[in-house]
Structure 1
Amino acid sequence: MILGGPMNKYVIATSSTSDLPAEYLKEHNIPFISYTYTIDDKVYIDDCTEESRKFLMASMRAGKQPNTSQITEYAYYEFLKEILEAGNDVLFVDMTRALSSSINNAERAIKSLSEEFPDRKISLLDSYCVTGGLALFLKQLVKRHEEGWDYDQVVEWGNAHKFEYIHRFMVEDLQWLRRGGRLSNASALLGTILSIKPLIYIPDSGKLVSFKQVRGRKKALHSLIDSCADDIADYTKDEEILIIHADAYEDAVAFRNDFIKTYPQFKDAKISIMQLGPVIGSHVGPDFMAITYHGKHRLNIEK
């Protein structure tokens, strides 16, 4: 496990659902706890490496259906206790509770640890984000930590700004949502026949909400870009835009180019491309595309 060095009075930790590369997490001294997924009764660990992400996508393209598992209370307890025992306070930042009840296990573990370490600070920050949105949010927390902000300042900033990180997704194949129990057989079949691509948004609730359905991949990707006009914030040099793909790198590059053509004010912005991790990837399948960025505020499109 990566633990805080001498300059750190506290550690920011997270789970593998930020989809940040293992190299970044190591460089910035961010411990992470891994989710697991199962294929053909064999359990695999999401270790935040490109190899794991490529393996999952290759398996899904071969017709395998992965299943993800919650992180247990005991696993959270052991993970966080090690950080505390090393002399650090800890801020644990996780994916939105609307997509996984694992965070409830984290809360119970933190309650127990707070009683064991009464003089230490240990907090759970529900980001109401996932994958690229969580990655961007986490990077901003880490930036402030490395600039010397104290624990309470970072927690306060996180709670004040977490709803400003925008997620827009496109799912390529509705059959993956059906297999994962998130869509009926009839809806998936009809959507596949008509080549319907749902566009998905995360409002303040942290839930996945379909805000539009478009026929055809090319039109759907253009529509995803156009929709960003509703909530994207003005360009600032310390922010980043993330494009997340599931085994569709060339499409992600084209998507980035089209985004810049549509929004030329972002031509000098840092627009990075990242491969989707196994946790969300298990439910949406190959050729998924997403864009996450700092926004003015999330839209009220709850359904």
Structure 2
Amino acid sequence: MIKIMADSTCDLSKEIIDNYNIGVAPLNIIIKGKSYKDKIDIQPDEFYKVQRSLDKNPTTSMPSPEEYLKIIDRAVKDGYTEILCICMSSGTSGSYQSAVIAKDYYYENNKDSNIKIHVVDSLSMSHGSGWLIVKSDELLEEGYSFDQIIEFNENHKTRVKHFLCVDDLDNLIKSGRLTNVSALIGKVLRVKPIMSMKNGKGAIVSKVRGKNKALNYYIDEFTRRVDKDITDFIIIGYTTDINIASNLQEKIKKETDFDGEIYIMQMGAAVGTHVGSGGLSMFFVEKEKMKDGLLKNKIRTIKEKRLQK
């Protein structure tokens, strides 16, 4: 029996978590010195309402190894013999390392155990790791072995494509996810930075003006990049505005030939701490050897810095 576990930044819906019996280790959200467990002590809508009223942005901390150990121990007691843990990118959090420590601790204290545990560094944020988790559960239902599911994750994790844009740049500035120069230009010109992931960390790949152009960018890049053989579902994420997520869903249905499932799921407090209100994301698997316009962006950033001198 195979157990799949994750940290709470996977941002999967309760329905999916319950349906696939996914073990989730919660991150901690610190608001005014008080700690809350993501999606246990504080729910997304509640968090975003509180966040808007704060002068200082909340912070987050990774799940402790003990949180992962609880899930491992429970899984073993329930008869699982193979455990796959898919974590958020090690480039943005210590969650992956915490899971590795838990795995090592389990083996140190159960030297005769025949339990197999594998931890995946997804190199993803939010529904990026969530995409791998849902796909792993699908493969499990199709009869794939533990080793085959591991191989899929390790071979395809770098091709899970992220796009993220936000309405309000303030939280990205406060959390250090966006440079002050880029943020200033964005505010003055009303430019929406579109971010993706590079080597496990966030990177701006484009800048557009307005929501409609952001949606068009998503559609254009999806059409150009999507690996149709692997992408049988898309995940659209949002923080506070489900309507914009629904608009993107309808746009995909009308303007592309994609006929798979399109999930809409809310980003939780751990991710929302950095993204803030108005966040819109999209996740799918892209073709091999696709590249972003990162070099162009670097040149643009240099020019922006010169404008500020």
State the TM bucket, normalised to the shorter chain.
Answer: 0.7 to 0.9
TM-score, with length taken from structure 2: 0.85
Deviation digits for residues 246-284 of structure 1 (CA, Å, limit 9, x no counterpart): 111111111222233331x12x33222111121111101
Flag the 1:272–1:235 CA change in 2: closer, same or farther, 3 A.
farther
Residue 76 of structure 2 corresponds to which residue in structure 1?
Answer: 84
TM-score, with length taken from structure 1: 0.86
Residue 231 of structure 1 corresponds to which residue in structure 2?
Answer: 225
- d(CA) in 2 for partners of 1:62, 1:221: 29
Shift of 1:76: 2.8
Equivalent runs, 1:52-63 vs 2, <5 Å? 52-63=43-54
Residue 25 of structure 1 corresponds to which residue in structure 2?
Answer: 17
CA contact (8 A) 1:244 1:274 kept: yes
AA matched with 2:99: A
Equivalent runs, 1:100-111 vs 2, <5 Å? 100-111=93-104
Residue 209 of structure 2 corresponds to which residue in structure 1?
Answer: 215
Equivalent runs, 1:45-194 vs 2, <5 Å? 45-47=37-39, 52-63=43-54, 65-89=57-81, 90-118=83-111, 119-194=114-189
| Partner secondary structure for residue 217 of structure 2 | helix
AA matched with 1:53: P
Structure 2: gaps of 5 or more residues = 296-309
| Partner secondary structure for residue 47 of structure 1 | coil
- d(CA) in 2 for partners of 1:298, 1:117: 42
- Number of equivalenced pairs: 290
- d(CA) in 1 for partners of 2:169, 2:211: 12
RMSD between superposed Cα atoms in Å: 2.3
Flag the 1:271–1:10 CA change in 2: closer, same or farther, 3 A.
closer
Q: Percent identity?
A: 28
CA contact (8 A) 2:88 2:95 kept: no
| Partner secondary structure for residue 43 of structure 2 | helix
- d(CA) in 1 for partners of 2:177, 2:284: 26
AA matched with 2:115: R
- d(CA) in 2 for partners of 1:234, 1:291: 16
| Stretch of structure 1 that moved more, 118-127 or 156-165 | 156-165
Shift of 1:62: 2.8
Flag the 1:181–1:162 CA change in 2: closer, same or farther, 3 A.
closer
CA contact (8 A) 1:175 1:192 kept: no
Structure 1: gaps of 5 or more residues = 1-8
Flag the 1:48–1:287 CA change in 2: closer, same or farther, 3 A.
farther
Deviation digits for residues 97-118 of structure 1 (CA, Å, limit 9, x no counterpart): 1121221122122122123234
| Partner secondary structure for residue 166 of structure 1 | strand
Give yes or no for the alignment of 1:260 onto 2:250: no
| Stretch of structure 1 that moved more, 88-97 or 293-302 | 293-302
- d(CA) in 2 for partners of 1:88, 1:173: 44
CA contact (8 A) 1:165 1:298 kept: no
| Partner secondary structure for residue 247 of structure 1 | coil
Shift of 1:85: 4.3
Residue 233 of structure 2 corresponds to which residue in structure 1?
Answer: 240
AA matched with 1:198: P
Shift of 1:31: 1.1
CA contact (8 A) 2:126 2:271 kept: yes
Deviation digits for residues 20-61 of structure 1 (CA, Å, limit 9, x no counterpart): 112321221111111111222222211279x71111221223
Flag the 1:191–1:155 CA change in 2: closer, same or farther, 3 A.
same
Shift of 1:179: 0.9
CA contact (8 A) 2:39 2:269 kept: no
Shift of 1:153: 2.2
- d(CA) in 2 for partners of 1:212, 1:239: 26
AA matched with 2:43: S
- d(CA) in 1 for partners of 2:110, 2:289: 37
Residue 304 of structure 2 corresponds to which residue in structure 1?
Answer: none
Give yes or no for the alignment of 1:196 onto 2:188: no
Flag the 1:62–1:272 CA change in 2: closer, same or farther, 3 A.
same
Flag the 1:161–1:186 CA change in 2: closer, same or farther, 3 A.
closer
